[in-house]
Amino acid sequence: MNPKFQTLFQPITLRSGVQLDNRVVLAPMTNFSSDAQGNVTDDELAYYARRSNGVGLVLTACTNVTRNGQGFPGEFAGYDDRFVPSLTRLARTVQGEGAKVMLQIFHAGRMAPAALVDGDVVSASAVAPVRDGAEQAPAPAPRELSGEEVEEIVRAFGETTRRAIESGYDGVEIHGANGYLIQQFFSPHSNRRTDRWGGSLEARMAFPLAVVDEVQRVVAEYARTPFAVGYRFSPEEPETPGITLDDSLTLVDALADKGLDYLHVSLMEYASLPRRASDTAQSRLEQIVAKVAGRTPVMGVGSVHTPEQATQVLDMGAEFVALGRELLMDPDWVAKVREGREAELETVLDVEGQDRLVIATPLWNALVNTPGWLPLSKKPEAVTA
């Protein structure tokens, strides 16, 4: 191993007692490959097994905590006890490859496709999401949740956490990022409520913090072995009004006092600067690390392609670095860096390599047909006589 990459392979013990072999994490990525009932499929198990040998931690794709919380076709579910066997299969598969595994739990809110939730698209308020591109039809406005429904969803996060414990996971990651329901409550764009769940910045923090409290309550009641709880968030929104970095730093300050195992900063580019903040000269990640001030570990992510960039994330103060696209293109990324073979890292998706890379067809089709998602290798030109 190149000595300059040694920090990536230092073990760490989380506050909960969960022990990780290294600081590299498989980022949570939707794969569209579960069955129609919401169960994990054999193809998904093979996909995760291929990417679990080497990383210290696997964060699963998101699983919905209520029936109307589904965000994607082919999403495995966690909203009912009947899904425990499905969830158990996934946990055992990842752990069998030597990694720890945490179940990412979420509710899509207004981002749920109406066809997947029987038309019952809900959110903090009846405010439609903004869609990029003039060619797209305006998104319909969701139904505003009642106060009683909000409390039911908080409890649903706890119930899915209980199922994760029963299924043998090493923890759960609360998905408060990427425009889904938890972020919708925190955002002044999507939350126009006047009850205790909306209004001031502090009131908009009530739902995220209530979910954290409920999840931690369930862990304290049901977990008999170390069980970690992480929280993922997006630090800014492009909309006006929208979440600013200063808003997120206030939330981070509260979360850092909750005794969480880590905070996961969802970024498209790990060194990106803020759009709107009191300080626009220092990166978002560095400002978040400074606000946390050592109270809980921070996980960085976003366009981390090389081991040099992964090490830089740690140098910026994060304790972990999550890789997504890199482990799609090269499932052996971690092993190659550990063995000093970083020159062999694959940096484009081999369009002839679906079987070798062990990627199920629904995800494969999305990867090769979505411009800009991944750099693609060129298909061999046809041989002419």
C-alpha to C-alpha distance for 42 and 46, rounded to whole angstroms? 6
Verify whether residue 180 is a known catalytic residue.
yes
Q: Among 10, 11, 17, which residue's Cα sits nearest to residue 228?
A: 17
Choosing from 47, 79, 169, 180, which is the catalytic residue? Answer: 180
* Rounded distance between C-alpha atoms, residue 30 and residue 62, angstroms: 7
The rounded distance, in Å, linking the Cα atoms of 279 and 75 is: 39
Tell me, letter by letter, the H, E, C secondary structure of the chain: CCHHHHHHHCCEECCCCCEECCCEEECCCCCCCCCCCCCCCHHHHHHHHHHHCCCCEEEEEEEECCHHHCCCCCCCCCCCHHHHHHHHHHHHHHHHCCCEEEEEEECCHHHCCHHHCCCCCEECCCCCCCCCCCCCCCCCCCEECCHHHHHHHHHHHHHHHHHHHHCCCCEEEEEECCCCHHHHHHCCCCCCCCCCCCCCHHHHCHHHHHHHHHHHHHHHHHCCCCCEEEEEECCCCCCCCCCCHHHHHHHHHHHHCCCCCEEEECCCCCCCCCCCCCCCCCCHHHHHHHHHCCCCCEEECCCCCCHHHHHHHHHCCCCEEEECHHHHHCCCHHHHHHCCCHHHCCCCECCCCHHHHCCCHHHHHHHHHCCCCCCECCCCCCCCC
Q: Give yes or no for a contact between 62 and 71, defined as CB atoms under 8 angstroms apart.
A: yes
Given a contact cutoff of 8 angstroms between Cβ atoms, the answer to whether 348 and 329 are in contact is: yes
End-to-end CA distance of the chain: 48
The residues assigned a catalytic role are: 180
